[in-house]
Amino acid sequence: MNSFPPIDFATVPGWGASPCFLEISASPADTSLEGERYEVDLVRTLKEKGFVVLKSASSNTRNDLPSALAGATFSIHPHWTLTKVFGDAGTTKLGKGRSASSSDEIKIYSPDDKSVYRSFFVQLGNSKTQGGWRSALSSQNSDPANTVIPPGYGLILVRKTEEVFNFAIQGEPRTHAFRFPLRAGSNLLAPGHLKNFSLQKLAASSANGFVAGSTPLTSDQVRILVGERLETFAYLSGTPARWVCLESRYSLPEVEALIAPATKALEIRKLKPDPDFVIPYAP
C-alpha cells in the first residue's frame, strides 16, 4: 500500500521496535471497508520507500486488498504485548511462581488454538534459571514476552494471590468503526471503543449478522461476567427478535442495558461465523 505523501519510515522514532498494524480510518470509495486491519511487515516497509508493506496474518480482518481502498486514509499503531501491558519479570505486579499453577495467569483469546486461549505466566528465577514470561505449555520454549494482544482480542486474568491488582493501559480512542471477525462458537471480544456498551450499541441485531432462534440453544448468545457469575443473553426469534437474559430480570429492555463496561470483555457465542462483524463508531 503506497502512502501519500511518501513516508520514509527510517525517520520514524521507534520504528521496528514493536510489531504494528495498519487500520483503515476512512474509505471514500467504499465506506464498508472502514475499520479493516492488516499486519505490517516492518523490515520490508523500511526497504520500500513510500510504501507500507502488509503481510498475511490470522489477525488481519480480511485476506485481500480491494481496489476500492485507493484514496483511503489509514493509521499505523504498535501492538500491545504482554510486556507492554503487564511489565517484564522485574516490573510486573502479577503474582509470580515457579509454575503456572502457583502464578497469576493471563489467558489471551486465540481463535486459531483448539483451546481458544493461550496461557502465560511470569516465572520466578532461581540460581539456575532466569525469571521471565513463560507459556503455560511446557512444549513452547521461546520467550513469549513480546506476544501480541491483537485489537479486540479479550483476555482473562486468573488471579492466584489475594492482593488487589490495578493496572492501566495507555492508548488513544478509536474514532471510526471497529471490525472483529467472529468465528462459529466462542469469541472473547473487547469492543474496541472507550465507552460502555449495550447490546443495541454493539449493533447486535439480525441486520448485523446475529441469528435468532426459538430456544437459547438455537440462538446466538452474549455472555458477561457479573462479579463471579456469568449472565447469558439469548437472541430469541419473534416479531421482532429480542434479547432475553436467562438468569436475571432487568428494569428496562435487555437490549438497552449497559452490559459491557469499557474495561470488560464479553463472550459472543455464534452459531455461524460472521467475518464482517462491525461495531459502528458513535461520538
pLDDT for residue 140 is more than 80: no
pLDDT for residue 225 is more than 70: yes
Band of pLDDT at residue 113, cut at 50, 70 and 90: confident
Angstrom distance (rounded) from CA 174 to CA 180 = 14
pLDDT for residue 120 is more than 80: yes
Instruction: Break the chain into its structural domains and give their ranges.
Output: 9-78, 82-158, 178-279
Residue 151: all three cell numbers together: 485489537
Band of pLDDT at residue 70, cut at 50, 70 and 90: very high
C-alpha distances in Å from residue 203, one per residue of 197, 199, 281: 10, 6, 11
Angstrom distance (rounded) from CA 31 to CA 144 = 37
Angstrom distance (rounded) from CA 195 to CA 258 = 10
What is the mean predicted confidence (pLDDT) over 253-263? 87
The mean predicted confidence, pLDDT, of the chain is 89
Residue 175: all three cell numbers together: 474514532
From its phi and psi, is residue 71 left (phi > 0), alpha (psi between -120 and 50) or beta?
left
Residue 114: all three cell numbers together: 483448539
Q: Looking at residue 192, what is its pLDDT?
A: 86
Q: Looking at residue 185, what is its pLDDT?
A: 93
Q: Looking at residue 141, what is its pLDDT?
A: 62
Total Cβ atoms within 10 A of residue 274? 20
pLDDT for residue 139 is more than 80: no
pLDDT for residue 171 is more than 80: no
Angstrom distance (rounded) from CA 184 to CA 186 = 7
Band of pLDDT at residue 161, cut at 50, 70 and 90: confident
Q: Looking at residue 72, what is its pLDDT?
A: 94
Q: Looking at residue 148, what is its pLDDT?
A: 92
Residue 181: all three cell numbers together: 471477525
Q: Looking at residue 274, what is its pLDDT?
A: 95
Band of pLDDT at residue 21, cut at 50, 70 and 90: very high
Location of C-alpha cell 519510515: 9
Angstrom distance (rounded) from CA 32 to CA 35 = 8
Q: Looking at residue 260, what is its pLDDT?
A: 82
Give the burial string for 60-80 (b: 16+ CB within 10 Å, else e).
Answer: bbeeeeeeebeebebebbbbb
